[in-house]
Structure 1
Amino acid sequence: MSISTIHPVETSSSYSPQTCRQFTFSEIELATQNFDESLVIGRGGFGKVYIGTITCGEVLLDAAIKRLESTSNQGAVEFWAEVEMLSKLRHCHLVSLIGYCNEEQEMILVYEYMSNGTLADRLHKRRASLTWVRRLKICIGAARGLDYLHTGTGIKHGVIHRDVKSTNILLDDNCAAKISDFGLSKIAPTNQPSTYVNTLVRGTFGYMDPDYFQTGRLTRKSDVYAFGVVLFEVLCGKQAVDRSIDEEHWGLATWAQDSIKEGRLGQIVDINLRGRLFRKCLKEYALLADRCLHSHPKQRPTMAEVVVCLESILALQEKTDSDQLLPTFFGRMVPTFLIPSNHRETSGRDTSVKSLELYLHAVGGEDRILNCFDFNTIVNATANFSEANMLSSVYYKFVYKGRLQNGQDITITQYSYASTYDECMNEASILVKLEHENVIQLLGYCIHGTEAYLVYDFALNATLDSLIFDPMCNLLDWNKRYKIILGVARALVYLHNHAPIRIIHGDAKLAKVLLDESFDPKMSGFGYAMTINDTDCIYVDSIRGTPGYVSAEYHMTLCLSTKEDVFNFGVLVLETVTGQRNNRFIRVANDVDFMLINLVRTEWLEGTLTNVIDPRIDADPILMTKFIEIGLLCVQERAAIRPTMKEVIGMLLGTLSLTLPVSEMRTRIINGVQPSDES
C-alpha cells in the first residue's frame, strides 16, 4: 500500500493537512462486505455508492465508497480528475476525498460519509421537511464552497465545477452543505473572472447554462446559473425537471421565472414553507435566484456576491423570527401566519392585534383572506357563550354554534389554557390549506386573553357522537348513517391523496365529525394532524390520539401512518353501526366484558351479528353485515393488510370486495387478545 500526502499551499481555517490514501481492492471488498447491495446508499452517473467501514490507523470510520460501473458513460478521465482535484482542495464546504483504489480494472473513490444524504433527497424524498432557515443555511454553505472553487483560495487556479445540482450537494450530521462530485470539473485561471474554457458540453439537463450549451464556452457563471436552479429548487420543493409542472414548463427555471413575471411568486413556494417566510426575504431570495439565471452570463452575480446576499436574507429572516415581539397566546408567541400582514411589516414594538384581515397561503398558493374577529363579535354570535349554543365540550376545548349579525351561521371552537396551544395552531395552519365538501372550512380566528377561538364557515347542528351515543336519539336512520360514513371516507381520501399538502388526520373519531341540518358530515379536529411527503408515515415523539382509537403499531412504534386513519375509520364504522363506544367495556350475557372490536369479531365468527347491530337501525341484516366487515377489515392488527381509504370507498360503493382473514380472527379470539391490548 502506498500513501500520497497532500500538502496545502498555505495555512487556512478552511482546510487542514490530510492524506489521500490508495486502498487495495481487497480492503474495499472488506469495507463493503463484498459490495453487499444492502449497503448501497445512492446511484449516479459514475456508479453505485456504498456505505462502508474503513480502518485509519486504529480508528474505524464510516465512508462513502463510489465504484465505477462498466456501463457508465464516465471513466478514467473523470476518475483521475476527481482524485487530482480533491487532492488539492480542502474546504469545510467541500466533501473530503479519503482515498481511492485503482486496481484490477477497478476505479473506486472513498469519501467522508455524509449521514444526511443529498439535498435532493431532503427536498424530494425524505419525510422530514427542511425549515426555511435550514434551507438558507444549506444554500449559504454550498455557495461558500463554490466561491472557494472559483477564487482559487489555496491553489494556483480556480475551478469550475460544471455539474452543480442538488444531488451533488451533500449534508453532514448537522445538515451543513458540502459540494461533491468533481468528475466534470475544469481548471480556470483566477486572475480573469470572465475567462472561459472551450470544452465539450457536459452537465445535467435542467441545470445546464443555456449560453454554455449553445457556445461551448464554460465560465464560472455557468456554475452560477446552475446554482440559481438549485435556489429555486430549494424554494419551490420541485425538481429541476418536474413533470408535475405544465408540459410547456417541465424546466423549473423557466417556470419559476415566468411565474415571478406574472406576479405569482407566492404560488411557487414549497407548500411546507408557505406562511413561514418573511415577505421581504422571499422577494430578495427570488430576485437573487432570478439574477443567477440571467440570459447574459456577465449580468449574473459572482458566487461571492451570492454568499453576501444569502447571508443578508438569513439575517433578516432570523431577526424577524426572534427580535420582533409578537402577540402572545397562553404566554407563547403567536406564529407569523396568524399575524396581520401590516403588523408583520412594521418595525415598531406595538404588539396589539386588531381586527384586520390576515393574508394566508391557501389552495394553489394564492393569498387568502382569513378574518380576525373582534371578541365582542364572538360573544354576540354565541349569545354570550350560552349553554343552549354549546354543542360539545372536551377537556379545555368547547364547540359552539353561532350566527353573525349578517345572518351567516358559524361554528366556533374555544381553546383554553396552554395545553391546547399547539393543537389550536396546528389546526389553523392546516385548515387554511384545505378545501373539500366534507372538511370544515376555516373562516377566521379571535385571540382574547388566555383563550383563542377558531371560527368556521359552517352551520353546526350536532356532533356525530352526541347523536350516536344518545340512546334516546332517533334522528339517524340508516340512510343518514351511510351518507355520513361515505362522507368521512371521502374526506380521508382527499387528505391522503388529493389535498395540496398530504395529511394524516390522526384522530378521526365520531366526536370530530360535525353535522349540519341536513346531516351532511364535515371532518374537523385537525389538532393532531401531521403532514407527510412521499411516504405514508411519519415518526413522532409521543402518542397523540384517543384511548380506544389508537392502533397497536402506532402505540408500539410511534409510527403515525395513513393506515392509522384507516384504523380510526374502522372504529368509527363499527361504532356507527352498533351505537356502542369502542373505548368502553361492554357486558354481554355471559358476564364477560368485551371491548367493541373483539365483541364484533366474536359475533361475526359465530354468525350472530344481529346481537350487536344498533336496534334503532331498520335495515337489511345482510347490508349491515357488509358494513361491519368493512369496519373489521380496517381495524386489522397488521397495518400492511388494512385497505387504503381509496379501497374503502370502493367497498362502500360496492365496486370492490375484500375478504376477512377468518383464521387470523379466530386465533385472536381463542387467545383472548382484547383490543384494549392493541390500544
Structure 2
Amino acid sequence: MMGFRGIKLLLILNVLILCFLSSRSQFVPVDRYSIDCGSATNTTIGNRVFVSDSLASSYLTTPQNVLVDTSSNSIPSSEYSQLYQTARIFSQASTYSFKINQPGRHWIRLFFYPFSASNYDLKTATFSVSVNDHSLLSDFSSGEGSVKEYSVNLTSDNVEITFTPSSGSFAFVNGLEVVSVPDLLIRDDAAYVTPPTSYHGLSNQAMETVARVNMGGPTVTSRNDSLSRTWVPDSRFLKNPNFAANASNLNAVRYPDGGATPDDAPRSVYGTAARMASDGDPKSNFNVTWGFPVDLGFQYLIRLHFCDIVSDAPNVLYFNVYIQDSNVLPDFDLTTKLQGHLATAYYTDFVTQAMKSDEIRISIGPSNVNNALPNAILNGVEIMKLNDSDGSLSGKDVPTSSKKSKSNVGVIAGVVVGVVVALLLVLVLFFVHKRKKQERLNQSKIWIPLSTNGLSQTMGSKCSNGTTISAGSNFNYRCPFAAIQEATNNFDESWVIGIGGFGKVYKGVLSDGTKVAVKRGNPKSQQGLAEFQTEIEMLSQFRHRHLVSLIGYCDEKSEMILIYEYMENGTLKSHLYGSSFPSMSWKQRLEICIGAARGLHYLHTGYSKAVIHRDVKSANILLDENLMAKVADFGLSKTGPEIDQTHVSTAVKGSFGYLDPEYFRRQQLTEKSDVYSFGVVLFEVLCARPVIDPSLPREKVNLAEWAMKWQKSGQLEQIIDVTLKGKIRPDSLRKFGETAEKCLSDFGVDRPSMGDVLWNLEYVLQLQEAVLPNDPDENSTNVIGELSPQIHDFHTGGDENSNTGMGQFEMSSNDDISGVSMSKVFSQLVKSEGR
C-alpha cells in the first residue's frame, strides 16, 4: 500500500513539475479581445477566435453601422486572409472600448486590407487612430495588407481605440486585438547604442513593432508563437546575401533558469541562425549586415536574440556586433554569458538616440580574440519604435515609411515603367558593346592587375621604404598590399568610414603619419575594373584644390584598392541629413557649393577636352577639416566630345534623382549633364532632404520636381531647411533659386556653363554677406548669361597649393557692368588666392 502511495505521490509531483515547466511557455492572458470587424460570424485563426463585432456591438460606439465584404478569391492567401474579407467603415470618429481586468502592458494589433466593395474603395481611405493618450497613426492610408502591432502600458481599467477619418475621407479596419502581455517581456532597462550608457524607463513607453525577424530561418506564424507574433525571414533585409549562411538545430535549444523564455522568442527562432559564410577560411574578414527602414526623429528599442547552435565546444565563438557604426558587443562570447552552456537562449536590449537616418543597420563580424576562427551568428531581431515626448507613435511631423498613399502607387508604377525601359536599353547596349567589354575584361573572372596596362609603379616613402619610380607628369603610384594592411590595421572593421557600390572605405595612416582614405574593392565582385582604371587614369591627371587627390593604388593579389587624401568631415550629404552633424550655416553651404563648382569647372575647362564627371551628387562632395569642398569619385567620368562634336554618345550612367533627363532620353552626354546634377545638389543643400524619398506624397518624392514648382511660384522660402528659416537674405535666396532653376532646364543648351554657375554662386554669397546700396543689378533676375566672366586659372599641371581654383578673371567689353556696387560684389574674385 505504501509503495502504491509513493508511486501516486511521484506521479502527482511529475504532473506538477510538467505544469510548472509548461507554464513558462504557455502564458495565459488575463485580457484577450479579438474582433473580426464587419463580420456577421466569428473567425478562427490558429487558437484565436476573432469575435464578430456585430455580435459584440457593446464594444463599439459609432453613429453608423456600415459593413463591407469581398469574395475570398480576391484576397491573396495569407495567415490572416480570412480576417481580411470583411471590414467596418467609419464616416465619423468612432471608438472601440474594452474593459481592462489587469492593468499593464498589452498588445494592440490592427489589421488592414484595402479592397473595393459596394460604394467604398478602401485604398482611398485616409484616417488616424489613437489609443487613450497615444496617437498610433496619423493620416494613414493602407496601400496594401498590413498588421500594425503596438505594445502599450495600460494603467486604467478601460482602453479606447478611436478611428478618426481625415477631412473628406473615411476610416476602416478589418480586425483588431487587445491582449495582455507578460510583465517581464519588456524590462525597464537597456543600454544606449551611443554613448554606451544605461537607459531606464522602457516599462512606461508605448511601442510599435517595426521589424520582427527570424535570422537564418523561415517565417514563424502566429500559430507557432506563444504570444501570437509573426517572425519573418531575414533575406529581404540582408545587404549582401552572399556574406551570410543559414544554420539550424532546433532540438538543441535550451532555455536557462531566470533567463530567456519561449515567450521571449520561440524555439523555431533560437534554433535557427544566420552566420558568416566564411567556410572555415581563417582569412575571412567581412561583416554580415542587415538594414531596416525606420522613421526619422524617433528612438528605437533593438532586441538581439542569440543562441550558439553552431559551436562544438564553449569559448571558441567570439565575434563583434554593430548597430549603426557602434560596436555594441565587442569580442562577444555567448558561453561566458551563459556559464559555459551551448545552444542556450539569450537576448539583449539596446536603445538608439532619436534617429537622424532612415535606416538602422545591424552587423555581425569576426573578432581577433584568442585567434578565434572568423565566424559570427545572430538568431533573431526585434525593432520597436518608442513614443515621442507627446506620447505619439504616428510620426505626423516627420516623413514615415508607413504612409503609403494611393499616390505612391503611381510613383511605383512610374518607376517600374522606367526600369523596364532602362532594361530594354541596357539589353540593346549590351549586345552592341559585348565584344568591346569582353576585350576589356579579357574574359577573365578575376581582376586584371594594372601592371598589364603599363600603369604599375612602386610608391615611395608614403607607403613603404621602396624606391620611388618617376611617374612623369602623372601621379600613378603603386602601393604594396602589405603597406596598406599596416596603414589600415589589417582592414580593421572599426576603421570603416563608408561603404559604397565599389566596396568599403577605411581610414588609414601611412608610415610617414599621413592620414588617408583607403577604398577597397569587394573581392567577391565581378565588377569594378573599368571604374578602378578610370579613377586612376583621371585622378593621375588632375591636381586641384577642389578635387580629391589620389595618393596611390594597389592591384596585388587580385585586389583593387585606391588611396586618397583623408577628408576629415566626410560627405556633404552627411552634413545635410541622416547623421548627427550640426546644421551648417547658409554661408558655409554657399562656400561648399562654390568650392564644388570650382572643381567641376576645372574638369570641364582645364584640358583640351572636357572631362565630364557623370556622378555629381552630395555624397561625392567631400569636406576637409575646414569644410572646404572637394569633388570625389571619378569612376564614371568620361572625356568630353571632340572639338567638332557637340556630345559623346554613351550608355547612361549616374545616380537616380540626379540624372540629366535629356542624357537619359538621348544617350548623349555633355558637360551640361553635370550642370543638371549640380542643380539638384543646390536644391538638396537648400532643403536638406534626400533627392528621392518614396515615403513622401507623390508630389514631394522627387526633390528636383518639387523644388522647381515652388521656385517657379516664387515661394521657395516655404521649403528651405528649417534651420535656415529667417537666416537667408531674400535677394540671396532669390538668386540662388534662379541659379538652380537654370541648371535644371529641360534642355542642355538652356543651362549655364559651370563657369556661369560659379559666377552666380559668388554673387549669391556677396548678396548674403553685405548690403549693397544703389546696386542696379541687385534685383536682376537673369544674372546668368549676363555676368559671365571667362575664368583662366585652370591650367594643366597647376599646383594645388598655389591657388584656390578661382584665380584671375577677365571680362570682355560686353561683360563690363561698371558701377561701384558691382566692383564691391566681385572685389574678392580678382585675388589670385581666391576667397
TM-score normalised by L of structure 2: 0.36
**Which structure carries more helix by proportion?**
1
